[in-house]
Chain A
Amino acid sequence: MSSSVKRVYGYLAEFESASALYKAAEKVRDAGFRKWDCYTPFPVHGLDDAMGIKRSILPYFVFFGGLTGLITAFLLSYVTQVGIYPTTVQGKPSNIFTVPAFFPIMFELTVLFSGFTTLFGFLGLSQLPRWNHPIFASRQIHRATDDGYFIEIEAKDPKFSAEGTKGFLDEIGGENIELVEDDGT
C-alpha cells in the first residue's frame, strides 16, 4: 500500500563502530535532543551516560512492591495462623512470637512481589508489549542485530528540523542517513 500518506518518524544514521557511536551520542546529547535512541548489536558500556539517560524510577516501584509483599505475607499468615485459627505446633506460642515461622513466607512474597513489580514495571515504562515500532520501516535497521550501529532522532523532538537534523547527523559522522517514514502498518 505505497500510496497511503506517510508520517515522518525521524532520521536514522549509521556509525562505523561502537566507539564512533559513543562519541556521536555524546554530541547528540549535548546538542539538546530529547527524543532519540541508539541501536547496537550488543550492549555498549557507558552508553547510557553518553546519551544522558537519567536513572529509571523502576527501583522505587520495586521497593514498594517488595514492601507490599512483605506486609501481605505477614498479614496473611498472622491473621490465619494466629487470629482466625490459632495453630499450636510443638507447644510453641500462638502470638506475635510465632513470627519466625512466617519469615520464609514473608521472604518469598517479598521476592515474588518485587519480581512482578520489576517485570510489569519494566514493561509499563518501556510501553511494551507492542505490535510494531515505526523504526521497523527503515530499510537498514535489521543490521542493528548484526553489525550496524545506529542513531535515530525522532521528528517529535522539538529540535528536529528536516534539513538541520540531517546536516547535524552528517556532521557528527553519520553515514547512510535515511529518512524513516512510518507507513502506518
Chain B
Amino acid sequence: MAHHLVTSAEIPEEGERLEVDRLKKIRTICLIVAGAGGLLSMPALFGWFGDGVQGSYSFSWLYGFFFFTTLAMGGCFWTLLHNVSNSGWGVSVRRVMENVGYVFPWMFIPMLPLLLPEVQTYLYEWMDKHRLAKEAGGGSTSYGLHHGPTADHLLHVKYWYLNLEFWYVRMLCYFPLLGFVIYFLRKLSVDQDTDPTPGTSRLKRARFHSCWGVPVLAVVLTFLAIDVVKTLDYKWFSTMWGVYVFAGSALNAMAVIILVTIALRRMGYLKNVVGPEHDHLMGKLIFAFTVFWAYISFDQYFLYWYANITEETRYFILRNTAGWNYVSIVLVFGHFVAPFLLLIRQDLKRRNGYMIVMACYLLFMHMIDLYHMIIPERGPSVTKVLHPHSPDSWALWLNGSIVGDVVAFVTVGCFFVYILLRNIGSVALYPHRDPRILESANVHN
C-alpha cells in the first residue's frame, strides 16, 4: 500500500485544540491531590510532626521535586534540540515537547521548601557547617571555616562556589533563566498559530535563540543537579554528574512525550499529522538514550572503581552496602540491558501498546535511578543530625520513610500533570501553520 500523502487540505485552518472538558476530571483530581499533598507536606516539612518525620520527609520531597524537574528539563532539551538542529520530522510533536518543557518554570513552587533552613539541616551537611562556622568566625563564614574548631579545609577551598549566599542566588536564578528560554520559544511557536501570513521568520528566530538556549540549559541542568543532589555529600565530587542527570532527563522526557502523543491520538487528536513513523523516530531516540545513560553511568562508576581513591569512592560504597547493592544491580539490568534488548526491534517501536508499556517501564526505572541517587544519603544524614553523639543509633534506613516518599512523589507528580495538562489545553495541539508541518506529517524513516 502506498503511503497516504497528507496535504494542506487535511490540516484544519485553525488547528486542533483539546476539548478541555474531556480532561477536566483528571485535572481537577490532580489539583486536589496536589493541594491536599501540599497541605499535608507543609507541617511535615516545618517539623510539626516531629524531627524524625521532618528529616525523613525532606529527602522524600527532594526526591519528588527532582524527579519531575528532570522530566521538565528534558522537555526543554528536546525543544531546543529540535530548533537548533533545524529538524523537520518532529514539527507535529514539537508542541508536546514545548508543553513538557514549559512545566519547568512552575517547578519553582515545589522547590521552595528546599530554601528552608529547617529542611536544609537534614539534607545538606555543608550548610550546617557553614552556619556553625559563621557563628564561630564572628560573622565571617570563610574565617570560621579556616580557623578554630569549625575549620574544614575542603569547605574552605570550595567556599567561592559553595556558600549560602551564592547557593540561594543560584536557586532563585535557575528557574527564571531556563523558564524564560522555554517560555520564549513556546511563545514564538504559539504565536505562529494565529498569524495570517505565517512565514519562515519564526522558524529562523527559534533556531537563532535556541543556539544560546542550549548553553543555558546545560548550565542550569548541571548546576541544579549539583546544588540539590550532589551536595548531599559535599565531600564527593564527580565531573560526570551533570551529564549523568542529563542522560536520564532526556531519556525520560522523551518517554513522557511518547505517552502524551499516544494518549492524544487515542483521544482522536493529531491523527492527520502523527503516525507510526513518528513513533518509530521517537522510539529510536529512546533507544539511543538508553545506551547513552548506560555509557555515562557506567563511566562514572568505572572511573571511581578503577582509581579506588578513598574520598572518591564513598558514593559507591554507600550504594553497594546492604540492600542498596541490589538496587544498583537492578539499575544495570533494568535500566540498560532489558530496555536495550526490548527496544532493538524496529517493528515493535511502531506499536503504540508496546511503546506505552516501554515508556512507563522506563519512567519506573528513572524513579529507581533517582531513588538510588538521593535516598541512600537519608538514613546516615538524618540519624547523624538527630543523634550526633551516639553513633550506635546511626542507621542506613529509616523505617516507614517510604510512606513519605510515596506522598511526596504523588504530590509533586499531580502538580506536574496538572501543569502539563494546563499547558496542553491552553494552546493548539500542533503548530498547524508551521511551514514544515506537511514535511513532518509525511516524514518517512
Contact = CB atoms under 8 A, between A and B. Distances in A.
Nearest to B341: A63
Nearest to A55: B346
A91 B3 CA distance: 62
B306 interface: yes
Interface residues of B, number: 11
A104 B299 CA distance: 10
Given A100-B302, A101-B306, A49 B344 contact: no
Contact of A46 (B3, B305, B308): B3
B444 A46 contact: yes
Nearest to A90: B308
B326 interface: no
B2 A49 contact: yes
Interface in B267-312: 298, 301-302, 305-306, 308
Contacts of B305: 100
A45 B444 contact: yes
The A contact surface, by secondary structure, is helix
A63 B306 contact: no
Contacts of A59: 346
Contacts, number: 23
Contact of A92 (B2, B308, B444): B308
Contacts of A55: 346
Nearest to B2: A26
Interface residues of A, number: 15
Interface string A67-94: 0000000000000000000000011100
Contacts of A49: 2-3, 444
Nearest to A59: B346
A61 interface: no
Contacts of B306: 100-101
A26 B344 CA distance: 30
Contacts of B3: 46, 49
Nearest to A47: B444
Contacts of A50: 2
Interface of A: 26, 45-46, 49-50, 55, 59, 63, 90-92, 100-101, 103-104
9 contacts: A45-B444, A49-B3, A49-B444, A50-B2, A55-B346, A92-B308, A100-B298, A100-B301, A100-B302
Interface of B: 2-3, 298, 301-302, 305-306, 308, 344, 346, 444
